[in-house]
Amino acid sequence: MLTPSQILRLIYINIVLVRHGLDEVVFTIHLFRPIRFVLYLFPWHWFRRNGVPHGVRIRRALEDLGPIFIKFGQMLSTRRDILPDDIADELAKLQDSVPPFPGKQSILAIEKSFGKPVDQVFKFFDEIPMASASIAQVHRALLDDDSDVVVKILRPGIERVIRRDLGLLHVIAGLAHRYWRDGRRLRPKEVVLEYEKIILDELDLMREAANASQLRRNFENSPDLYIPKIFWPYTRRDVLVMERIKGIPISDIEQLRVHGIDLKKLSAQGVEIFFTQVFRHNFFHADMHPGNIFVSYDHPQDPQYLAVDFGIVGTLSSTDQRYLAENFVAFFNRNYLRVAELHLESGWVPASTRVDEFESAIRTVCEPIFQRPLNEISLGYLLLRLFQTARRFNMEVQPQLVLLQKTLLNIEGLGRQLDPQLDLWDTAKPFLEHWMDEQIGVRAMLAGFKKSFPAMAEKLPQMPELIYSVIKQAERGQANVEWYSEELKVIRNELNQAHRRTVTAIIFAVMLLLTGMFIFQ
């Protein structure tokens, strides 16, 4: 049930759309379509200025509606295959050109957080923001040791605004779940819950700083990706201070060319970085829109990515990792039967689904995309076709994979801009095959043993006594063990006779495994 404040918010959303000349959106809603003629009775419709481009009006409306809508526009800005160029260009301005809040408010926030004047915190603080985004904005500053840093500060009152819109999203998701035909399958309530967790985490800059530190460790000394240093003594929940990086925005293709950056290599590196984060580190930057990615100009023929804004990161369970990797490899090998089987094994489609029918549907969707350059493939179109297939087979949306899907869309958008001829599949396939080999081969077995060996070694001294105790209890009828057959009695007697040899056998097995581990490493 909508609360009065949520009803007022819905009314405000419609007012914003009307104010920016997007009232045609309101009157395309099924409820209002029969009274669309009323639009022509409104005075503002008579005197509307038609000089403002459609894309500008959409961008301004999203800016007025707040951070949740701005982030939606940011995601859309990378999808030039499904948006006209003029609208995509305008939405791209949402990535780092959101109207800033006054610098004096930034100073007040710093002084409140640190409990002292700003000139006692920083040697120099630039009141004019470098960039402004939907949740925070950044300023340049100098520390006492002359370290060049950027200071990220949350927008005043942003948590209240976000919680208000999240409440509205929860209501809409509940209505969709109850009344929409696809509501139960698409799980809108779970998706909103997942999004709520993500966006509320963004409001804690200490968490973002910790994310940045983890990514920095993961890519330490990497020639492909550089993560700036966090200055922990200067970081608070609403203020983050990190090393200032200098590079070319990934979206500025002209400047990349001017500096001689190898765009083809850069594009392939982006795909490899994504799969490295997801499958090797299981910790990935999940907000990789162009406003957060820069390129170092120090080594044009061996370019390096520079990343910022670590408020949204993602991880996957080992099960999801494994199923995703196997699905990707099966897709790359056009093994659609295996793709269908994996979906059944993972429970993503009902157990009653006919594998042969599902395989045929997947083949119909995916077969046309292979061995074609990226500029001839629309992942957005592919996802639409897969969505239609999912609807036919009652596939449920997996909320834990929403972040991964969003990040993959961003990666494709970046790749399309840098190198339209990039073959996404050929770039990713060798990486995934190598990862799968590590997961299921001899190396995987030895790595698993190496990981669990300390716990095993801790329990080894007690194992002979425990085994002997269980056998004696079974003989006295005290153990919760029932012997139903002569064969089991034979096994019991053999165990009873062999208990003195248990320690020797276990130690011998451990030594054998350790020897194998050193041989194969």
Residues classed as catalytic: 287
Cα dihedral sign, 161-164-168-170: positive
Angstrom distances, CA of residue 78 to CA of 384, 395, 411, 444: 16, 27, 9, 37
Phi-psi region of 221 (alpha: psi -120 to 50; beta: other; left: phi over 0): left
Ranges assigned E (strand) in 216-301: 225-226, 239-243, 248-249, 284-285, 293-295
Only one residue has tokens 């006692």, namely 120
DSSP assignments along 441-480, one per residue: SHHHHHHHHHHHHHHHHHHGGGHHHHHHHHHHHHHHT-SS
Radius of gyration of the chain (CA): 29
Q: How far is CA 12 from CA 15, 61, 255, in A?
A: 5, 11, 41
What is the rounded distance in angstroms from the CA atom of residue 184 to the CA atom of residue 170? Answer: 15
Q: Most distant CA pair in the chain: distance in Å?
A: 100
Please enumerate in sequence order all residues whose Cβ is within 8 A of that of 202, keeping only pairs 6 or more positions apart, or say none.
135, 208, 311, 312
User: β-strands 136-142, 148-154: how paired?
Assistant: antiparallel
CB atoms within 10 A of CB 518: 8
Q: CB-based burial of residue 439 (10 Å sphere; 0-12 exposed, 13-18 middle, 19+ buried)?
A: middle
Letter string b/e over residues 355-368, b meaning 16 or more CB atoms within 10 A of that residue's CB: eeebbebbeebbee
Range 289-313 burial, b when 16+ CB lie within 10 A, else e: bbbbbbbbbeebeebbbbbbbbbbb
